[in-house]
């Protein structure tokens, strides 16, 4: 962004320090004689000068200030265009020169031929004078097929490297039994099982004990838990013994028992036989009820969810049960809830909490007053101000014409400050505001009044009173706009030009400040002078009377 000077700048023989000439990539379309700039492509300073010998009318060109190059000589593989200047171009010979490449991408055990030394001749041609051959080592990864006989070790198995175990035997789906001897190091296993791409299936016994910590790097999926059903043989009451109509060997101690009439968290304490079981608590159910038996996961230490959500949690029953979000919301909904703002401007207010059309509320429900006013109840009238609290003492039914005693009013004394001409006449709240400088709405919105300078004015430089335009010279070499500041539309009679500050701006966005010549008379006029022919309405003037 440039500062626009619209008249000649006289430095009065002072130095211009750390100045940079205008940078352009190409010559401007036109200029004035003597104008200079720095050409960033040619890397030279250029001046706008007359073309000699002189012509009538005059003709001009952009010429380099520095002297021209008078001649360059090319050499081997070096070409020069425009060798006599003013701007030569030096290029390399475009002849292609190649050499035989080295062997690349050998397989395991192959050779790589690498350049060890090169030399160049006087013209810059590169020659390979010495190479060296490197032989890659053989692949250390081996594949072995497991023998079909248990306990036999694959022949020639290495002690280091990677071993890929392939199932032995014949026929599809044949499994190989692999026995690993435990060490202090980890065994890495990768591969896939039949029908389960990308997975490994390991058959374990029903009960597996893991000593110390179990760390799982992926997703834990439980394919299913022990679950079965049975029918009780006869009604049960005040007894912990359960008898089924048929044997059910799948039932084990620790399973949870559920069914019609069975309390929550009843489990199998012990198993007498396939039909008879001892329960963990008393149940009372009718004859022939279908009962479900399910295994229960048990954690012997706290369960850390690592800041993750616990999904699909069943509704809790016992005091020690965990609960889900829906159950929590159901328990707390409608009690002690913030009901929003209360507008007491009109009686009854909004929402209606008094009279025969009152809304229903639960104990603890409350409002915060947003607008001052009075509330008429069946027993009295209560005045409230902004910021006060209104609580329901107990459940209030709709259209019940409640008394004021059914509510508790908390006076917060946070009424909004008003505006007035004097301190005593101004309503006090958080603060009071001087009405000469501030405006406050009924809801407490405070705004600062306009701080515009009463001794300031703005005029556009046109040719309409109080501004006049005049030009001098043929062709025009100067335009003068004269502003009468003692005009009634500006500062009025008696205003002195010597007491007025002037700033000249473009009359269009971005309204940049420009710098013409400003001359003040001994009375009430200011002359603003521009070099050349300047049209009206291009500039505006900001005036400040001191």
The winner for highest mean pLDDT among 191-195, 266-270, 389-393, 454-458 is 389-393
pTM: 0.31
Question: Is residue 390 packed enough to be buried (19+ CB in 10 Å), middle (13-18) or exposed (0-12)?
Answer: buried
Q: Average of pLDDT values for 521-545? A: 92
Question: Is residue 530 packed enough to be buried (19+ CB in 10 Å), middle (13-18) or exposed (0-12)?
Answer: buried
**Distance separating alpha carbons of residues 96 and 491, to the nearest angstrom:** 82
Confidence of residue 110 (pLDDT cuts 50, 70, 90): low
Is 60's pLDDT higher than 70? yes
Radius of gyration of the chain (CA): 50
Is 472's pLDDT higher than 60? yes
**Distance separating alpha carbons of residues 546 and 541, to the nearest angstrom:** 16
And the tokens for 538? Answer: 């291009």
Do the strands 433-434 and 419-420 form a parallel or antiparallel pair, or are they unpaired?
Answer: parallel
Handedness of CA 411, 414, 417, 422 (dihedral sign): positive
CATH 2.40.30 maps onto the chain at 456-545
pLDDT at 6: 77
Confidence of residue 113 (pLDDT cuts 50, 70, 90): low
294 strand-pairing partners? 227, 256
Buried b / exposed e over 498-526, threshold 16 CB at 10 Å, is eebebebbeeeeeeeebebebebeeebbb
35 strand-pairing partners? none
Q: Average of pLDDT values for 141-162? A: 53
Name the fold adopted by 456-545: Elongation Factor Tu (Ef-tu); domain 3 (2.40.30)
Helix, strand or coil for residue 132?
A: strand
pLDDT at 174: 43
């Amino acid at each position: 962004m440039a500062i626009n000077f619209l008249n000649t700048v006289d430095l009065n023989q002072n130095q211009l320090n750390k100045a940079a000439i205008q940078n352009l990539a190409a010559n401007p379309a036109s200029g004035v004689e003597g104008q200079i700039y720095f050409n960033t492509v040619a890397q030279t300073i250029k001046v706008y000068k007359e073309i000699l010998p002189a012509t009538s009318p005059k003709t001009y060109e952009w010429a380099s200030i520095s002297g021209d190059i008078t001649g360059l000589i090319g050499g081997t593989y070096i070409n020069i265009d425009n060798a006599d200047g003013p701007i030569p171009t030096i290029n390399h010979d475009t002849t292609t020169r190649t050499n035989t490449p080295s062997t690349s991408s050998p397989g395991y055990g192959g050779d790589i031929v690498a350049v060890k030394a090169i030399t160049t001749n006087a013209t810059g041609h590169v020659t390979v004078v010495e190479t060296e051959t490197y032989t890659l080592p053989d692949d250390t990864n081996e594949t072995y097929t497991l023998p079909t006989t248990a306990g036999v070790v694959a022949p020639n198995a290495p002690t280091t490297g990677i071993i890929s175990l392939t199932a032995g035997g014949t026929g599809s789906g044949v499994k190989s039994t692999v026995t690993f001897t435990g060490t202090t190091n980890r065994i890495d296993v990768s591969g896939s099982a039949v029908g389960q791409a990308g997975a490994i299936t390991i058959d374990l016994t029903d009960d597996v004990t893991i000593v110390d910590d179990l760390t799982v790097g992926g997703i834990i999926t439980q394919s299913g838990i022990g679950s079965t059903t049975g029918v009780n043989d006869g009604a049960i009451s005040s007894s912990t013994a359960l008898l089924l109509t048929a044997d059910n060997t799948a039932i084990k101690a620790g399973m949870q028992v559920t069914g019609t009439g069975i309390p929550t968290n009843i489990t199998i304490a012990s198993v007498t036989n396939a039909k008879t079981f001892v329960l963990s608590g008393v149940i009372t159910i009718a004859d022939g009820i279908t009962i479900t038996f399910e295994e229960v996961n048990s954690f012997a230490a706290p369960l850390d969810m690592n800041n993750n959500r616990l999904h699909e949690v069943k509704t809790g029953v016992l005091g020690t049960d965990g609960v889900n979000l829906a159950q929590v919301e159901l328990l707390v909904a409608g009690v002690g809830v913030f009901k929003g703002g209360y507008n007491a401007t009109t009686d009854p207010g909004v929402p209606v909490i008094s009279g025969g059309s009152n809304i229903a509320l639960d104990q603890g429900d409350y409002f915060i007053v947003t607008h001052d006013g009075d509330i008429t109840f069946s027993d009295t009238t209560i005045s409230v101000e902004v910021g006060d609290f209104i609580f329901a003492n107990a459940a209030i039914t709709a259209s019940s014409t409640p008394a004021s005693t059914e509510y508790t009013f908390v006076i917060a004394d946070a009424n909004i400050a008003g505006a007035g001409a004097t301190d005593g006449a101004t309503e006090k709240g958080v603060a009071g505001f001087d009405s000469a400088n501030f405006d406050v709405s009924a809801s407490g919105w405070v705004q600062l009044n306009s701080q515009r300078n009463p001794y300031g004015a703005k005029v556009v430089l046109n040719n309409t009173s109080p501004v006049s335009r005049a030009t001098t010279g043929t062709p025009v070499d100067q335009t003068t706009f004269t502003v009468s500041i003692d005009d009634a539309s500006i500062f009025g009679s008696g205003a002195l030009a010597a007491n007025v500050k002037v700033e000249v701006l473009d009359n269009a966005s971005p309204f940049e400040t420009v710098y013409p010549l400003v001359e003040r008379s001994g009375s009430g006029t200011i002359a603003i002078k521009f070099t050349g022919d300047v049209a009206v309405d291009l500039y505006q003037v900001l005036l400040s009377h001191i």
